[in-house]
């Protein structure tokens, strides 16, 4: 019996060994491996079509230099979607509800885009800190504000993904608990609440995919500024 609704976000362990590593590695085991045959099955065909469409959409605004990130961003997108979707199953753990994991993804990738910009075009990268035509008295203030907004980007990436998934899981658990409590006393209200729970679950499936896409899309926009 859980003592708190937030206990579902605690990292599970077995014999003192944290199982978050298993939860992170499991999605890669589930992906189908393309065979050496010319004709693939339907699952691999759909997977290939989705990856190609997503990669083309993501790389379209970037120049040729940014296309080197296609494999990394596409892999991250599929990885996040799979983890988020698996976390909606009963008796599972969602690693992306942990801020530490999301920051572990956000900080290195954001820092890589900043380093690329400083190395390839330092003048343009530093120019983002000061908009053109700024009055002279406002220059120091704007530089400080733009620097803070630049440094807060990885935090926003990690917190956005964590907060959206955590809120969704809490809502599902609250409404599911209400269904079990109301069922013996008011069956009609419990059935209506169960219908709301079903709709909320569909919404959370969409949120799980959209948040993974937003995470990767924002990284591509940061990359677009620096390549």
pTM: predicted TM-score of the whole model, two decimal places: 0.83
> Is 202 part of a structural domain of the chain?
yes
In a domain, 1, yes or no: no
Residue 26 CB contacts under 8 Å (≥ 6 apart), including other chains: 86
Q: Is 3 within a domain? A: no
The DSSP code for 152 is T
Please give, one letter per residue, the 3-state secondary structure of 178-211.
HHHHHHHHCHHHHHHHHHHHHHHHHHHHHHHHHH
pLDDT tens for the chain, residues 1 to 227: 455 666 666 777 767 767 777 777 777 777 766 667 766 677 778 888 888 888 888 888 888 878 888 888 988 998 899 889 888 888 788 888 888 889 999 999 999 999 988 888 888 878 778 877 778 888 888 888 888 988 999 999 999 999 999 888 889 988 988 898 888 888 899 899 999 999 999 999 999 999 999 999 999 988 888 87
Q: For the chain, count helices (H), then strands (E).
A: 8, 2
Range of the domain at 190: 9-225
d(CA 64, CA 41): 32
In degrees, rounded to 5, the angle at the alpha carbon of residue 212 between the alpha carbons of residues 109 and 152 is 45
Taking alpha carbons only, the member of 72, 57, 70, 80 closest to residue 209 is 80
Flag whether 124 is in a domain. yes
How many structural domains does the chain have? 1
Residue listed under structure tokens 């997503």: 54
């Amino acid at each position: 019996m859980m003592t708190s609704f937030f206990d579902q976000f605690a990292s599970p362990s077995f014999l003192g060994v944290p199982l978050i590593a298993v939860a992170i590695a499991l999605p890669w085991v589930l992906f189908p491996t393309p065979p050496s045959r010319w004709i693939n099955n339907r699952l691999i065909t759909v997977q290939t079509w989705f990856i190609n469409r997503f990669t083309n959409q993501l790389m379209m605004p970037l120049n040729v230099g940014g296309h080197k990130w296609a494999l990394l961003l596409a892999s991250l997108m599929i990885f996040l979607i799979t983890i988020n979707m698996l976390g909606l199953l009963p008796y599972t753990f969602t690693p992306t509800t942990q801020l530490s994991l999301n920051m572990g993804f956000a900080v290195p990738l954001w820092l890589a885009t900043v380093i690329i910009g400083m190395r390839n075009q330092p003048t343009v990268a530093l120019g983002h800190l000061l908009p053109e035509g700024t009055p002279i008295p406002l220059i120091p203030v704007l530089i400080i504000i733009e620097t803070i907004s630049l440094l807060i980007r990885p935090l926003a990436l990690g917190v956005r993904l964590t907060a959206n998934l955590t809120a969704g899981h809490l809502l599902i658990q609250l409404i599911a608990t209400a269904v079990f409590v109301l069922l013996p006393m008011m069956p009609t209200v419990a059935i209506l609440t169960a219908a709301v729970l079903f709709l909320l679950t569909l919404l959370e499936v969409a949120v799980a995919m959209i948040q993974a896409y937003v995470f990767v899309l924002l990284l591509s926009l940061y990359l677009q500024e620096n390549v």
